[in-house]
Chains A and B, each alone.
Chain A
Amino acid sequence: MLARSAEGLYWLGRHVERTEDLCRLLLEQMGTLVDRPVREINFGWRRIYGTLGRRPPGPAVGVTESDDDYALADSYTLADDLTFERTNPGSVLKSFSNGRENARQMRHCISGEMWTCLNLAWLRLGARRIEDIWKAAPESFYADLAREMNLFAGVADTTLYRDDGRRFLQLGRLVERAQFTTALLAAHLDGVRSYGETADSEWSSLLRICLAFDIYKHRYGVEIRPARVLDLLVDDPRLPRSLCRAVDAAAETLGAIALGPGPSGAVRRLAGDIASAVHRPWPAAPSLDDHAERLRRLAGECLRLHDLVMAAHVDYDPNGAPVR
């Protein structure tokens, strides 16, 4: 398929996944605002910004790097920054509008049902601003948008022809998911390390963000143990959004994509290496620092995977490329 189309589909997958991930982060945080202590609220904001690798709009609201200062920034401002701020490349609106723009440019490569699904969500979003959703229940805004992104994935699954186009879309989702999961877990562990003792509710909220809370309870009961949480979110291939499932599926998808003129072999090897690294047994009784370090390494490898995919199939030098 046309290299630029493949790139567009790949980014469509990434942006849709990113929008959904952001919505789940913020949905959970909105719930925290309702009945949790200030400390947990701060922990939540810190985790979100850590996941995105960004600083909150501190100067505007007087936030310093002090742990407590997230409390000074009112949640309204932070939610606005993360949801509607167009200059924030990691905001929900920016991610979603990027995805919709990818879809608009690639409408001939996706099904009409997929386009309609995204466009309806876009129309529903309209010109909404933070004050509009804050007055009503902001949770419903994030829950609805996350559901629409889920719907898009389901519609794609049932309407898209199983060729390389679909594989690039899928690959984009999986690479984004792997990057998000490693970043989220690393940010969570950073927060735990900074705050010292953590409440069960913070680990519970981590599970809910990863759609794993009910599964954890069914599997392990109500007692929250951090090691078990990490085992489930990282290593359990039966958990739909576990890290190992994302990297396994990415490696499998890459294996099915026809070889490109660029470093295709290196891409497949790296995807396999990442999967192996995730599956490799943890050292006995690892500390949270060990976990954090390992996740940071994986995050770096996932970034490299993205670059190699582009080099293999999209940004290759045409002068040396074979004629098919």
Chain B
Amino acid sequence: MDFSNYRLDAGFYDEVLQPDGTPRAHCKPLCDSLAGISAAELGEIQDRVTSSFLREGITFTVYGDGEADERIIPIDCIPRILPAAEWAELEAGLKQRVLALNRFLGDVYGECRAIADGVIPEDMVRGCPQYRREMHGAAPPHGTWVAICGTDVVRTEDGFVVLEDNLRVPSGVSYMIANRKAVKSNLPRLYRRCRVREVEHYGDLLLATLRELAPPNRPDPCIAVLTPGVWNAAFYEHMFLAHQLGAELVEGRDLLTRNGFVYMRTTEGLRQVDVIYRRVDDDFLDPLVFRPDSLLGAPGLLQAYRLGNVTLANAPGTGVADDKSVYAWVPDLIRYYLGEEPILANVPTRICRRPEDLEYTLDNLDRLVVKRVGEAGGYGMLVGPHATPAERESYAAGLRADPGDFISQEVLSLSRAPCLVDGRLEPRHVDLRPFVLRGRDTRIVPGAFCRVALRRGSLVVNSSQGGGGKDVWVLES
């Protein structure tokens, strides 16, 4: 298997090959290994990787046309490899970002110094749909609002760039571990030769983090994972995490509150719950405070949280810090709270609520990416260069009607990595979602969920939009 027909197009950073077609130093063992096997053998490896996902039922759910479909996420068997130095830069940048965003959340729900000092406009914060005034004055343990963060990072020819911070209920970590398990067992010799850092201890780090966030005087806290239920797209992950943590996987109907404490219904009676790793959106957490029609949370949950009798990870209201508009201010927030220059760059972003940015966006719709502020998962997004004139026209109408709901960015030249497609190696665009944990300390496993845009030329890597995954190998040295 070689790269003889592999296209290296100018303008795209290739994760494996240099522009002259020779392997990058850290990818030489991978290229040597691929050279030593035939296309048929690599196809067999791919089949084994895929069938291991089928066998273990590692699925996600896609909704469309009113039907829910349980699908296997397509995984490419060729790992993406990151050398130690690149990872060190990423790790430092991600930790810096999570620390600053936690400070920001403590501030916007506390003293509002950044607003008073003019670092970020007040209307940008208070006008954000994810801003929760109910959280004003809350004081989560160790000032940790965001305990679990999944930051989307892409690489361009200029280096790593943060695409967005996912601070509410980031998903994908189970696939990071499942990918590792499948690829490691099918490429064992290459794995050993490369000296890859482990990721399988993520559950241990998550448990340590959640225990640190337990209310005081609860030395052996009861931890539960709160899921919306089996029909949620990420249910497999919720179940996986509960298993990793040795925690109960609860739904709203399993919880009740009494005298400001949260309990779950067990076979022997009620048991107090101390920490809830919630995978339910803010709106559905507590019908007494947020959406009154929600059946996914528990009435009185927020009161118990405010009393400090239960910890919610992540805290309600964190969405204000991963809002697609507020994102534009994150570099300034890092400078403001930490007095440091951001290690990881942002994508230059235009806020369409500003008339000049709206005008620019409408004038350049054919070469911009435009996103709805409130959407996620690749929904509600327009990739201008790939859209038809009719799609752009239709999107422009929505943009004009509610400009505050949109931001726009230049189309990034996402890096590409080789994937096995129809029996040969072809470049596909990739991103990276590492997971950062913050309790009293900040922790990160050396790895990530690498998403792949499997359609040729596509920049949309979301699983719900036809994306796949790759294992990420962070090298020891």
Contact = CB atoms under 8 A, between A and B. Distances in A.
Do the two chains bind? yes
Interface in A88-126: 101, 104-105, 107-108, 112, 115-116, 119-120, 123
Contact of B56 (A105, A119, A257, A313): A119
A119 B253 CA distance: 28
A151 B264 CA distance: 34
Interface string A111-143: 010011001100100000000000000000000
B96 to A, nearest CB: 34
Contact of B55 (A105, A119, A314): A119
Given A104-B230, A107-B239, A107-B243, A116 B266 contact: no
B243 A258 contact: no
A107 B271 CA distance: 22
Contacts of B242: 108
Given A4-B251, A4-B254, A104 B265 contact: no
A258 B57 contact: no
A324 B254 contact: no
A34 interface: no
Given A4-B254, A108-B239, A318-B256, A123 B54 contact: yes
A114 to B, nearest CB: 12
A261 to B, nearest CB: 5
Interface residues of B, number: 26
A115 B57 CA distance: 9
A284 interface: no
A258 B267 contact: yes
Contact of A257 (B239, B264, B267): B267
Contacts of B269: 260-261, 321-324
Contacts, number: 81
B263 A3 contact: no
A164 B268 CA distance: 10
Interface string A1-42: 111111000000000000000000000000000000000000
Given A108-B243, A116-B56, A123-B54, A324 B249 contact: no
B268 A260 contact: yes
Contact of A323 (B251, B253, B263): B263
B250 interface: yes
A222 interface: no
Contact of A324 (B57, B253, B270): B270
B265 A2 contact: yes
Contacts of B346: none
Nearest to A6: B267
A104 B232 CA distance: 13
B272 A313 contact: no
B49 to A, nearest CB: 16
A182 B240 CA distance: 39
A260 B268 CA distance: 4
B57 A314 contact: no
Contacts of A164: 267
Nearest to A322: B269
Interface in B43-78: 54-57
Given A4-B250, A168-B267, 17 more contacts: A1-B248, A2-B266, A3-B265, A5-B248, A105-B239, A112-B56, A116-B55, A123-B54, A260-B269, A261-B268, A313-B267, A318-B263, A321-B270, A323-B271, A324-B268, A324-B269, A324-B271
Interface of B: 54-57, 230, 239-240, 242-243, 248-251, 253-254, 256, 263-272
Interface of A: 1-6, 101, 104-105, 107-108, 112, 115-116, 119-120, 123, 164, 168, 257-261, 313-314, 316, 318, 321-324
9 contacts: A2-B249, A107-B239, A107-B240, A108-B239, A108-B240, A123-B55, A313-B268, A321-B270, A324-B268
